Chains A and B, each alone.
Chain A
């Protein structure tokens, strides 16, 4: 029963490809993977927007969208129709081709990064040897699309915002990569499916061997998630868009469905980055306890992904937007040094792998101290002189 459920997507795939002659089966199975990703994550995106609005509503003590269908469940489709039927305004002086190309590219680059995420035990669209590298190669390409959007609009505010957005993305690329490197060091592979397999197994059947449950993994996960929030332009790092202050930044000259495409790309990027975070730190499709393995692995993956994304929504509802100097300072003075220290920490963890007995406790203590002490010290230094806040103009 469990095995059948686990292999269900494969069985469906084989059943569909069975209708086609042998020579084109590889093509059909490839296309099926693409269609499945588009359908599943398209719907996931639609309901993420609804969930986000619902949750934000609850956080702010209001009901959220509740008029379209039962509990507002048809709201995403109403929004889609609205975005599609809106007038598409292209500025007269804009670079028409690039103006059109930018939203398409940004969605395309967001989507292709799903290709290497292992959604289940047998469910990985492309099992590449250099999967993590592929993921980041796809990620950095979207920066280019962002630049195109800003430049093609022929609006100096769009241009300045695009440059600010690029500065933010480039700044946070570094802590993101520095947080990922320890995982690669300790699992000894760049393949996402092997990284998940390396996190298999349970101590006493209840404590999973996920990377996040080690000192370096815990620090790495937090650096990764902070950088991921910044990479996907979400609050509290959403100042490239900052609709209340910057009239939507590089999206100023976009309207209708092109504007919606940028948000689609944002949600795709967020899902993909959180998926990578789940894969690298939270054990991917592995079940949290031994006996819960009866639940298919892809269900676990989606549950973990949804939990991580819910945390991001919670952060969005709680924290205030940062200023650009605070944002870059956080990246360069706090996250990058911590990431580098964490790299050394992971090296220590790797070298002390054969310590046992009481030495195991020493290993944990040293590893935790290596990351906690710099965290406190750097944090104290950076925040000294900032509190208590004085208000010069308000009384």
Chain B
């Protein structure tokens, strides 16, 4: 049977469709709730998918990823508090529109632009994943090592306060991944006499701690925050005039979002900010931006959802996560016994197409759910934090414990949460650490294999042109944060200094 058809048939089974619907509902709710995010929801749900078959499990997480990215726009527009970081740019014009009584128009545009961006990126995903996997089949350990190092270097360009802090967080993640028994020699590393550490530190409790517990501790500082909520919401689909205004921004943002998503480590937030800036740059009505421009909603929403499909391409074809949520989906794939990369695409193509199908279904589901239920979802923000966050803690406890039935993992989760909170206060975000944690094992394994191949001669890395290209890209990636301001100043010499 044709693998595409086979994959789509797997998705079409009622149980799988029900789980995709559940993923979409959880995603929209989590996306809409300020403080909760799709990486957190994926981390919390991951341990409970262990008992499921891989197709429904990963389909549900992928659907949650798509819907969570859209869900953030609801609260960004209605209460000026982006439910998720990718919706930050949506609030710039979405909330002013809502204050002008156009909340329904803004929400309708956010939903439609998200779906167009999402579907565009899924088409790219459908075409690019097998092609990229085919290319990657020719990669040997040195090329994989160089690719993983390049992916880690991209952490320097992830949005955040400090590129150096991002790189340090990534390296800390790699270091955490080295704890446990060294596979080649059987030597215990960083176990400190704790028997539970001999198996290494499991992904799941660390991820739950970093995303859920550290956020819970952050929320304990902001219990008195009240949001001004726009209540009169009648969702309106974009008019023909609106479509005429936004077709350019949506198309551009879909391309930008997909491209940014494909880049290792870059995610929906970066895509949304670039999408917003480009919508403004190309607009004939720049003055309207910040005061309720419809293009200011369409641009970032198309871009952030386009990044979801784009980010799945390197995740599945190369085993290199395209964003923090796909890093978690990668961890879930590993948990289900898969080794993401070209062999996964080559040997089980129907699985890849099933994920494609799940994300496609999710896009249309959240369009319907978003349009019909935005008013209901906006009310979710009224759940008091004094009840919401204890619920998150309960799920975190069960999730961490149930993964291997060990109380030690609950302590790992708490330690990761407190550590993540402290690191976050000093500008070290959880996303780079997770990327390092996921990629660390691959870096070490491929480095060891390469050194064996090269008989310990480092210089032979440079025999491969692909390796050289990745090393050059790595240097560019590391230098970019320092070079970018100089390029910008040269491009706009007459602009007054801020």
Chain A partners chain B: no
**Residues of B near any A CB (own CB < 8 A):** none
**Residues of A near any B CB (own CB < 8 A):** none
